[in-house]
Every structure is written in C-alpha cells, then in structure tokens.
Amino acid sequence: MNPEQLLRIRADLEDGIRRLIGRAVMVIELDLFALPCSCSGYTANLRGFQVDDIEVFEEHILKLLESTAEAVGSPSNFVFARIIPGTQEIASVNVRNLCPRCYSDFASTSGKRPRPDIYILRLNKRKK
C-alpha cells in the first residue's frame, strides 16, 4: 500500500457513496489503524452522511465498505458506523478485524444499536 493507492481508495469510496445516495458527501479522512489489543482495520471519517442514508442503502453501503476493505488489505468481519449519539449525524464508518477481547465485547450484544454511538452493519459471529 503506497500513498497514491491510499488516496485513490479514499476518492473511490467517496465517489461510491456519492453515486449511491445521489448527494455530495465528504470522506474527510481515511485512516488505517492498528491497536495494542490487536484489533486492526480502517476508519473513514465522513461529513454530510446520515443515519437515514445507512438505513436506506445499508446493503449497498456494506458492499462498498467491503470492497474498500479488500483494497486496503483488511479483513472485514466487523463493519459499523459511529454516530453522534442522539442525532442523525454519522461521524465515521469503520471496518475492524476484532481481537478476541473486543470480539467478546461486541459478540455479547444484540441488535444493530448496541450502544448509542454504534450502528452495526455486519458482525461475523464465530462458531462456538
């Protein structure tokens, strides 16, 4: 992954969302991350994107985020949006390869909104 590829991936994600929702939207920052707990993945910070958009286009947004995950070389077993609690505003969309500890935190919850700031698009449950 070189900087040009990362810039291209950011622009493609932004373009994909714009085409999908038919409105201007900004991917203001695309970050790859690695945490001490061993979670890794990417975060796309968004402006102009709202909960309604995810609810209406969830299936298609998920595909876009998965293809972006593939492009950055990250597994996508947990895909979620981070919401400003109590509002329509989506701060970011996130694809995260969960570590065992964080997996158990999220896997023990149910529903799309386990916390006021999280909207889960997909969580791959592991076999017991």
Partner 1 sequence: MNKKLYVPHPGHFDGLQQMLDSSKDIYSIYMAGSPDYIGTGRVNLGHAGLEEVARHTEYCHSKNVKIEMVLNSSCMGGQQLTTEGYNLIHWYISNLEDIGVDTVVVADPYLIEMIASEFNIPVVVSVLAFVDSPQKAEFFEQLGASSIVIDSNVNRHFDVLEAIRDAVDCELKLLVNEGCLYRCPFRYAHFNFFSHVNGPPPRPNVQDDYYYHKCLTLRINDPSLILKSPFIRPEDLKEYAHITDVFKIGGRSHFINWILNCVNAYAAESYDGNLMDLMDCPKDLVDLFNIPNKALDGAIEQWKKHSTVCHTCGYCERKISEIAQMYDHMGTTDEKLVQWNTITKKGIET
> What is the contact surface with partner 1 in residues (CB under 8 A)?
4, 7-8, 10-12, 15, 18-26, 28, 47-50, 57, 60, 63, 84, 87, 89, 91
Sequence letter at residue 70: E
User: With respect to partner 1, which residue has the nearer C-beta, 60 or 107?
Assistant: 60
Question: How near is the Cβ of 96 to partner 1 at its closest, in Å?
Answer: 17
Question: How near is the Cβ of 55 to partner 1 at its closest, in Å?
Answer: 14
Query: Where are the extended beta strands (E) located within 1-125?
Result: 26-34, 40-47, 78-83, 90-97, 118-123
Question: How near is the Cβ of 116 to partner 1 at its closest, in Å?
Answer: 12
Calculate the CA 113 to chain-centre distance. Answer: 14
Closest CA to 72 of 38, 95, 54: 95
User: With respect to partner 1, which residue has the nearer C-beta, 25 or 123?
Assistant: 25
